[in-house]
Structure 1
Amino acid sequence: MAIGLDVPMPPEPDDSEAYDYEKCPFYGSLSVRGQTLEGTVVSTDMAKTVIVEREYDVFVPKYDRYMKRRSRIPAHVPGVLDDVAVGDEVTIAETRPLSKTKSHVVVEIMGGDE
């Protein structure tokens, strides 16, 4: 509960001298604010970044039905949560902009497709 969310605290980093504390919400100075979202990891191709996909329904009044939509959100992976794989369900939290496209950080890995 150190970051203000009800998520378990991961273990401390092994190599504290090479660890990027600036972009870590658990042991660094990165604050989380705004919304927290849940989704599925669909890509881990980038270094320290994952793509989280959320699927939701939107009501279309003209046809009186719901339509599926999806959004893909790039999220930073702190070094203490490096074991994120494709198919994992994760919780991401909004932060300050970390790069041109990233303004979310992974705060919890809830499991995956086993």
Structure 2
Amino acid sequence: MPKRVLQGVVVSDKQDKTVVVKVERRFTHPVMKKTVRRTKNYHAHDENNVAKVGDQVSIEESKPLSKLKTWVLLDQTKA
């Protein structure tokens, strides 16, 4: 089964080798037929501490690295 890849924005880089990424998903509400936005924060492993707050990043699913980290940073673009 392929690993999931998500795209989002870094909202925190205060921890060592860890970034918090906000990922937004959009869907149509089943009853109201209106577009709804939902956001979720993911903790991702950043081995070289290259991502900074505001960067657009891609993260990939991985094995659990700690209690919260189950994602790895793939690449980023500066904001």
* TM norm. shorter chain > 0.5: yes
Does 2:20 correspond to 1:54?
A: no
One-letter amino acid of the counterpart of residue 65, structure 2: L
Aligned to 2:14: 45
| Alpha-carbon distance in 2 for matches of 1:61, 1:83 | 40
Stretches (4+) displaced over 2 A: none
1:56 Cα shift?
A: 1.6
Aligned to 2:3: 34
| Alpha-carbon distance in 2 for matches of 1:87, 1:97 | 25
1:88 Cα shift?
A: 0.5
Pairing 1:88-103 to 2, within 5 Å after superposition = 88-103=55-70
Given the two structures, how large is their TM-score scaled by the length of structure 1?
Answer: 0.63
Calculate the aligned-residue CA RMSD, in Å.
Answer: 1.3
Q: What are structure 1's unaligned runs of at least 5 residues? A: 1-32
* Percent identity of equivalent pairs: 33
* Structure with the largest fraction of helix: 1
Q: For the pair shown, which has the larger CA radius of gyration, 1 or 2?
A: 1
One-letter amino acid of the counterpart of residue 78, structure 2: G
Aligned to 1:24: none
* Structure with the largest fraction of strand: 2
Aligned to 2:41: 72
Given the two structures, how large is their TM-score scaled by the length of structure 2?
Answer: 0.88
| Alpha-carbon distance in 2 for matches of 1:51, 1:96 | 17
Q: What are structure 2's unaligned runs of at least 5 residues? A: none
| Alpha-carbon distance in 2 for matches of 1:90, 1:78 | 14
Report the secondary structure of 1:53's partner residue: strand
